[in-house]
Structure 1
Amino acid sequence: MTESTSSKTLGLTADEVLTTTRAVRRRLDLTRPVPRELIQEAVTVATQAPSGRNQQQWDFIFVDDPATKATMADLWRAGLALGNPYEHHGLSIPTRGSFASAEWRRIRSSLGYLLEHLQEVPVLMVPVVRVPTRAELRTVHGQAHNWGSVLPAVWSFMLAARERGLGTCWTIGHLAYEQEMADLLGLPFETTVQVALTPVAYTIGTDFKPASRADAAHFTHWNRW
């Protein structure tokens, strides 16, 4: 969608949207309300995402009620306080980046900012996938089918949000308290699985650039590992 079809879009090319959709934390505008109509536009784009067998078994719960957001933020912080599950098992995190880098220090700083201000973000989104039963996720096949049905829709929403001047990021801290979040949001726990908690806000400025990444050749394999 370009400026000619909607005055609310930035008019970025597909490659620009794909390479400048950042995990936005510190540059979320906490003071500017986000119209529900704008979010609905992004959801309309997300409905075109592919899903397994075209079942479209995902839903997005958007929350703009201040009291509910405050409780959601508390659950998220409580989950983060539990620490890194890799460390509990003496494992290192697989990564192409260095946790000693300046970029990682910036990420930690921006995460700290979100830790203080998550409840102030205008809208919080919890994407969920519908399942017949949670036993569906006990096999790799079941996980791949269900995550593959919801994650493209979430990413499409994030890309559509970026084109409309909105920032998002993917967080999962609250999943340690998924039952409590389900109770708060009225979700049927046995037949819905939460996959993230995503803040949604206008960004402070829209001049996002491609981020530092490992060389693309490092990700490419031909015929075998």
Structure 2
Amino acid sequence: MGVELLTTTRAFRRRLDVTRPVAREDLLDCVRIAVQAPSGSNRQPWRFLIVQDPETKQRIAEYYRKAFAANLTGRAIRPDQLADLSSGRYLAEHIHQVPALVLVCSIGRLPEPAAPPRLASFYGSIYPAVWNFMLALHERGLGSCLTTAHLAYEREVAQLLGIPFDEVTQMAMVPVAALRSGSSASSRRAPAAEVTMWDRWGGA
């Protein structure tokens, strides 16, 4: 995986082609790469639940759309956020059509409230695997994005999918589809020098 892959893998929403199937073998190959990620104490707590059944995807989508709408209620939207909002709304409207919904889970649950070091370890042991998965997908011409809206209804989705809620935490959902043609140029980002400090906060 080179610099181009690292700098052109992004959250694909509108470019997801919901008309083309995604092969189970391709998904499993990408999971094989995902699980090479590091995890705290090498616990490897990840589990990948891949949903392709249309009726099940439709029911998950209903929870996703409710959570997405609730998240926007009363929220002030800046002009520079309109494009991302439109993209997110598009995904919410079409997520049930995406060929595969991949729920990335972690064995165990955090006590509430959890201390920051425990939170960092818990989430830090999963998200590198999610990123590996997304990179592997993109290398194969597949698009994805990391979503969490459905987690507002985590217990309901767990019941729907038979996930033991008290033992397993859903961490993210990754919609997967072939990519429509379009640009995958690097995104605009703040220059590294502007977001980097030396020796202390604010140090130049």
* Aligned pairs (5 A) from 1:10-49: 13-49=1-37
| Unaligned residue ranges in structure 1 (runs of 5+) | 1-12, 93-97
Q: 1:205 to 1:196 in 2, by over 3 A?
A: same
Question: One-letter code of the match for 2:14?
Answer: R
Structure 1 residue 73 and structure 2 residue 61: aligned? yes
Structure 1 residue 160 and structure 2 residue 136: aligned? yes
Identity of aligned residues (%): 45
Q: Distance in 2 between matches of 1:69 and 1:115?
A: 12
1:173 to 149, 173, 177: 149
Structure 1 residue 124 and structure 2 residue 101: aligned? yes
Structure 1 or 2: more strand by fraction: 2
Q: Distance in 1 between matches of 2:127 and 2:136?
A: 14
* Aligned pairs (5 A) from 1:55-204: 55-83=43-71, 99-101=78-80, 104-131=81-108, 133-135=109-111, 138-204=114-180
Distance apart, 1:217 and its partner CA: 1.4
Q: Distance in 2 between matches of 1:223 and 1:85?
A: 41
Question: One-letter code of the match for 1:62?
Answer: I
TM-score by length of 1: 0.84
Question: One-letter code of the match for 2:46?
Answer: W
Q: Distance in 1 between matches of 2:105 and 2:124?
A: 12
CA RMSD of aligned residues (A): 1.9
Query: Retained in 2: the 8 A contact 1:136–1:143?
Result: no
Q: Structure 1 residue runs of 4+, over 4 Å off?
A: 84-87
Q: 1:166 to 1:224 in 2, by over 3 A?
A: same
Q: Distance in 2 between matches of 1:145 and 1:136?
A: 15
Distance apart, 1:206 and its partner CA: 6.1
Query: Retained in 2: the 8 A contact 1:60–1:128?
Result: yes
